Structure 1
């Protein structure tokens, strides 16, 4: 089941309409980059994170459900999962995947409740 993976958790502190662009993103074990793009669309919310040099300048797409807490004062977003779990997610290419429902399904399964976080179902 992945229907809630594209929605913010109620406890994350996200306020619809808040511009998260430029916020620093922290995994459980350190920084992974900054928000380059985000969506607040109900049922289709996500962050596109520019990883800088962490994984060779690539971007990652994180479903909104991975957001644990947003700190608007320090402009930081804390997400569930380690750097390795995020790094091992299905590879993201902005021009190919932003509108790709197949990719979204794969990512939803990776981060969703149907599999252990950070792993594909067996």
Structure 2
């Protein structure tokens, strides 16, 4: 049993977003300049066992409670979407986002399809990561 329930679409610590506050993080802004995660575009993304890519410039295409990551050649140029609840910490000095899932877990996540029903994709992604936390809780 894990010490806390996993909530896939909630930042564990909104202070990671920098100067934006938790109230602005909670808004459902559609303008890319108002999104709380806009400042993370271009940041390297590190899984527990190595780098997986960068926060993609098309991040505004996914909900504000997700990060779109361009994996580059690692998994054939595929873009993956990570719920913000997977973010363990953000290091603004290094420009890195650390997630608490392995490369394999991220690789096996539901594939992002811009044509798919967003509600269905969100449900499948949330279910996938919630199950991964049930099976392998994050290292605290």
- Tell me the TM-score normalized by structure 1: 0.79
Q: Name whichever structure is richer in helix by fraction.
A: 2
> Which structure has the highest strand share of the two?
1
Q: How large is the Cα RMSD of the aligned pairs?
A: 2.7
Q: Find the counterpart in structure 2 of residue 87 from structure 1.
A: 107
Aligned 1:1-122 pairs, distance under 5 A: 4-10=7-13, 13-15=16-18, 16=20, 17=36, 19-36=39-56, 37-38=58-59, 44-93=64-113, 95-97=114-116, 100-112=118-130, 115-117=131-133
Q: For structure 1, which segment, 22-31 or 12-21, has the greater mean C-alpha deviation from structure 2 after superposition? A: 12-21
What's the TM-score once normalised by structure 2's chain length? 0.70
Name the count of aligned residue pairs.
Answer: 112
CA contact (8 A) 2:17 2:39 kept: no
Unaligned runs of 5+ in 2: 21-35, 136-140
Larger Rg: 1 or 2?
Answer: 2
Q: Output the CA distance in 1 between the equivalents of 2:41 and 2:85.
A: 17
What are the ranges of 5 or more consecutive residues in structure 1 without an aligned counterpart? none
> 3-state DSSP class of the match of 2:45?
strand
Comparing both chains, which one has the higher relative contact order based on Cα–Cα distances under 8 Å and sequence gaps of 6 or more?
1
